[in-house]
Structure 1
Amino acid sequence: MAGVVAGPSMGVLTQALAQDSSRSDMYQLLKVFGDVVQRVRSEYVDPVDDKELIENAINGMLTGLDPHSSYMNAKAFKDMQIQTKGEFGGLGIEVNEDKGLIKVVSPIDDTPAARAGIKPGDIITALDGKTLVGVPLNDAVDKMRGPPNSKIVLTVKRQGVDKPIEVPLVREVIHLQVVKSRMLPGDIGYVRLTQFTEQADAGLKQAVRNLKQQAGGKLKGLVLDLRNNPGGLLDQAVAVSSDFIDQGEIVSTRARHPDDSQRWDAKGLDVLAGAPLVVLINGGSASASEIVSGALQDHRRAVLLGTKSFGKGSVQTVIPLPGNGAMRLTTARYYTPSGRSIQAEGIVPDITVHESRETPQSFGGDRESDLNHVLSNRGGTGTQALPPRTDLPAIAKQIPDKPPEGYPKFDPTKPDDTDFQLQQALTVVKAMAAQKSASAN
């Protein structure tokens, strides 16, 4: 009988000893941390601010985990809350930090950065001639923000350009117009979604209603433009997906602890009533944009056209620290309805079309997989979960993957004449509409 009891007892004892050893190691490391702080406070060449010292240490701990975990002091936390509501001050650039470099994820439409030609993948190396190399992301963002009408010069390193580019800008109060819409030829609607702020879902529904009225009550198809959309709120991504999918899973998240994993399903009605849908994506489409793209692709509700998306398949939880800002912590990976994790992989479009003839050169981390401390892709089914599409219109095979020689350079003021990807999307959605009409007759 003693032998029967001894097994579990030894197991419990071993576990307790391991926990004690772990606590002892932690206490020792905290002692080292305290010693370092004290040495810096007493011997650093200049006096240091205790609060700034500790905040830097906290931020270093979090940013060392992955590219999206970070600490926000009270001011940065307030700025983030303002931005998710759709209005903030600055230049209009979504940026990330990689290996000590500040990289542009995407410019925001109709902002100083977008009008000046800032591009996804640009590396901002200096502000007003002062280097940003090694400057923490939050500090860099603070430096780019400032009073409206104040001037600033960005020094940018760009793919395929040998010399740094100096970009003079004037700061503005950024009023995010997250939804833009217009009619395309043939009773085809166009909706551009620039970010997933609190207004995204409501704005999309209203845009579709307006387009239907312009089309005489019914749209023959829709192009949803998610290019250079860096993401935003998860609940808005779920709501926008539900605007086109009647039922079924939209996205699921898997956390460290199984009890914390979640799943979101579609609820509502397809606002297009089954009309054809083409979604435009590119390397600046990230996070919430990839949730929507992945759900629509898995459900075969839309045809994706463009280039592979950014590949940010992780969920960040903002945890307030009362009186001391908040921490943004990566708490889960998200998965498409078919079980794909697109973390560091991205969404591959059904029809690949590049925006220009130039082949992009790899520089500075163009996608999630290029970032420092990138979270691994784990637990998903991989791209093999999706069988080849058999529902694409025949014309899909004739769509060129890049513009022809002599095609004009993209001009945002003349998209109908210079946006090659949009023109190919229009060709595809028209063919889908004609196919649907023929099958109904």
Structure 2
Amino acid sequence: MRKLLLVGCAALVLGGSAAVATSQTPRNETFRMLELFGDVVGIVEQAYVVPVDNKKLIEAALAGMMTALDPHSNYLPPSNYDELRERTEGQYSGVGLTITSEGGLVKVISPMDESPAAKAGVQAGDVISAIEGQNAAGLTVSQVSEKLRGAAGTSVRVTFLRDGEEPREVTLTREIIKVQSVTGRVEGDFGYLRVSTFNENTGRELSEAIAKIKAQKPGVKGYVLDLRNNGGGLLNAAIDVSDAFLERGEIVSQRGRKPEQIQRYSAKPGDLTGGLPLVVLVNYGSASASEIVAGALKDHERATIVGLTSFGKGSVQTVIPLRQGRDGALSITTARYYTPSGASIQKIGIEPDLEVARSEAEARIVSRSSFIYSEAAYATALDSSIGAERKGPHTPREAPGEAYDKEKDYQLQRALDVLRAGGDLSKLSAPPEGIVVTEPGSEPKADEGSEETPED
């Protein structure tokens, strides 16, 4: 059985061991309900006002049954199962969106780097309200995904909704998306590593990117690992990325329904960066496999986390092919995953050591309860299993104000500041002019170069 970990319903994900459990409902009651289902299909077939496609009816029923469990369990028709496998291999044809479902609406978890969707300005949290002018409310993730897929060169009109803005219709031209999951470059004295997704090539690509930076900058003094808007991917890839920066210790564990269903994954000796200072960038579009990496590096005190609290998707989905994939597959939640310290990320996320919003718009989203984009927003989400809760609406510690240059990536600039301070937040330079700084329990105020944080 091939096992993948899913983030939401359209992203690839964590492998896990599936356990087939008997229903708690008495068997005779289960059989009675199955007979009822057959009766309903028969009545619809005979009495509905126009002829029906029984195959579509049953696929819709399967999808409804799975999504009633939690937001990430799903039935994948054969075409969607094929798409899932293509994504793990790093190439597919489409618009480059990772999507999920919430309250009858399909939302964007993240646009893939350099994809048609990303180039069109689509952002995490955008709602897909219409496709080709047809209302998308009530459609499943599989149905939306099928409408967005198509041959390279063809176009699709999609209407997106975003908090505080008018509906925006964009025409996306589908492309063969060859996912380069890792890119790297030199930023002054430091290396910048962008991981956009976790696929079969990510571990190798990360090693190559680090080697390239070392060759270009032999005296490199530290690294930024950018996981923002990375909706997740393969568990093995997340382990490889974590292992690249760790010498030893547990990376992640996953725990299923029964106490004995525990799997642990540990690092092997060898830090590819030689222990240089490391900063990890995350935001509310960082989910699942991204949170495994951020959680492992934070718990081992190997990295400083900068940005916004991550999505909080801490459940494991196992993809189970049906009749060798001829009838699609089930993506079913089989476990939760835990960071090395034993913390569950489910509905909580990874909190940054330095909370920084990239823009005023991001800061508004975090400060308004009705628009916080996270796993905790789903009515059917699994609980965290440890009784903890995600931090509620609040104003981020730092956010660009009106005077700040909107062309600059403020989160990245602060990550570099942390590296210049050797990873020691007590030595972090004060925010530049134009940044709004909020102290815990106080109203936001414009920073005027105060003495709250010392200069380098």
- Alpha-carbon distance in structure 2 between the residues aligned to 1:20 and 1:157: 41
Cα deviations by residue, 1:229-280 (Å, 9 ceiling, x for unpaired): 0000011111111111111111111101223221111113111111000000
- Asked if the contact 2:418–2:424 (Cα under 8 Å) also holds between the matched residues in 1, the reply is no
Equivalent positions of 1:208-247 (< 5 A) are 208-216=210-218, 218-247=219-248
Shift of 1:408: 2.3
Q: Which residue number corresponds to residue 297 of structure 2? A: 296
2:125 to 108, 121, 125: 121
Q: Which residue number corresponds to residue 206 of structure 1? A: 208
**Aligned partner of 1:231: which letter?**
G
Deviation larger for 118-127 or 359-368: 359-368
Residues 301, 100 of structure 1: alpha-carbon distance in 2 compared, 3 angstrom cutoff:
same
Residues 402, 433 of structure 1: alpha-carbon distance in 2 compared, 3 angstrom cutoff:
closer
- Asked if the contact 2:279–2:423 (Cα under 8 Å) also holds between the matched residues in 1, the reply is no
Matched, 1:375 2:382: yes
- Alpha-carbon distance in structure 2 between the residues aligned to 1:380 and 1:297: 21
Shift of 1:113: 0.6
Residues 382, 23 of structure 1: alpha-carbon distance in 2 compared, 3 angstrom cutoff:
same
- Alpha-carbon distance in structure 1 between the residues aligned to 2:76 and 2:146: 11
Deviation larger for 43-52 or 400-409: 400-409
Cα deviations by residue, 1:155-194 (Å, 9 ceiling, x for unpaired): 1110121x211122211111112111100112x0000000
Equivalent positions of 1:260-271 (< 5 A) are 260-271=261-272
Equivalent positions of 1:19-58 (< 5 A) are 22-58=26-62
Residues 69, 298 of structure 1: alpha-carbon distance in 2 compared, 3 angstrom cutoff:
same
- Alpha-carbon distance in structure 2 between the residues aligned to 1:327 and 1:225: 31
TM-score, length of structure 1 as denominator length = 0.85
**Aligned partner of 1:321: which letter?**
L
Q: Which residue number corresponds to residue 422 of structure 2? A: 432
- Alpha-carbon distance in structure 1 between the residues aligned to 2:242 and 2:350: 15
Shift of 1:409: 2.2
**Aligned partner of 1:402: which letter?**
A
**Aligned partner of 1:228: which letter?**
N
**Aligned partner of 2:248: which letter?**
Q
Segments of 5+ residues of structure 1 without an aligned counterpart are: 1-18, 385-398, 411-417, 436-441
1:165 to 165, 168, 182: 168
Segments of 5+ residues of structure 2 without an aligned counterpart are: 1-22, 426-456
Q: Which residue number corresponds to residue 10 of structure 1? A: none
Q: Give runs of ≥4 in structure 1 deviating > 6 Å.
A: 380-384
Q: Which residue number corresponds to residue 421 of structure 1? A: 411
- Alpha-carbon distance in structure 2 between the residues aligned to 1:127 and 1:270: 46
Equivalent positions of 1:302-381 (< 5 A) are 302-322=303-323, 323-358=326-361, 359-360=364-365, 361-362=368-369, 366-379=373-386
Q: Which residue number corresponds to residue 406 of structure 1? A: 403
Shift of 1:153: 1.7
Identity of aligned residues (%): 45
Shift of 1:59: 1.2
Matched, 1:182 2:188: no
Cα deviations by residue, 1:105-132 (Å, 9 ceiling, x for unpaired): 0111101111110011000100121110
- Asked if the contact 2:256–2:334 (Cα under 8 Å) also holds between the matched residues in 1, the reply is yes
- Alpha-carbon distance in structure 1 between the residues aligned to 2:309 and 2:63: 31
Cα deviations by residue, 1:7-30 (Å, 9 ceiling, x for unpaired): xxxxxxxxxxxx998112212222
Equivalent positions of 1:92-107 (< 5 A) are 92-107=96-111
Residues 433, 206 of structure 1: alpha-carbon distance in 2 compared, 3 angstrom cutoff:
same
**Aligned partner of 1:212: which letter?**
K
Shift of 1:313: 0.2
Equivalent positions of 1:130-145 (< 5 A) are 130-145=134-149
- Alpha-carbon distance in structure 1 between the residues aligned to 2:50 and 2:234: 42
Q: Which residue number corresponds to residue 196 of structure 2? A: 194
Cα deviations by residue, 1:313-358 (Å, 9 ceiling, x for unpaired): 0000000111211100000000000110010111100000000123
- Asked if the contact 2:96–2:112 (Cα under 8 Å) also holds between the matched residues in 1, the reply is yes
The structure with the largest helix share of the pair is 1
Shift of 1:151: 1.9
Residues 172, 306 of structure 1: alpha-carbon distance in 2 compared, 3 angstrom cutoff:
same
- Alpha-carbon distance in structure 1 between the residues aligned to 2:220 and 2:50: 66
Q: Secondary structure at the residue paired with 1:432?
A: coil
- Alpha-carbon distance in structure 1 between the residues aligned to 2:422 and 2:127: 40
- Alpha-carbon distance in structure 2 between the residues aligned to 1:236 and 1:338: 21
Deviation larger for 284-293 or 254-263: 254-263
Equivalent positions of 1:248-287 (< 5 A) are 248-287=249-288
Q: Give the alignment's Cα RMSD to 1 decimal.
A: 2.1
- Alpha-carbon distance in structure 2 between the residues aligned to 1:118 and 1:203: 26
- Asked if the contact 1:341–1:382 (Cα under 8 Å) also holds between the matched residues in 2, the reply is no
Q: Secondary structure at the residue paired with 1:259?
A: coil
Alignment coverage as a number of residue pairs: 393
- Asked if the contact 1:106–1:119 (Cα under 8 Å) also holds between the matched residues in 2, the reply is yes
- Alpha-carbon distance in structure 2 between the residues aligned to 1:68 and 1:357: 30
- Alpha-carbon distance in structure 2 between the residues aligned to 1:98 and 1:381: 22
Residues 383, 165 of structure 1: alpha-carbon distance in 2 compared, 3 angstrom cutoff:
closer
TM-score, length of structure 2 as denominator length = 0.83
Q: Secondary structure at the residue paired with 1:54?
A: helix
Q: Larger Cα Rg: Structure 1 or Structure 2?
A: 1
**Aligned partner of 1:115: which letter?**
K
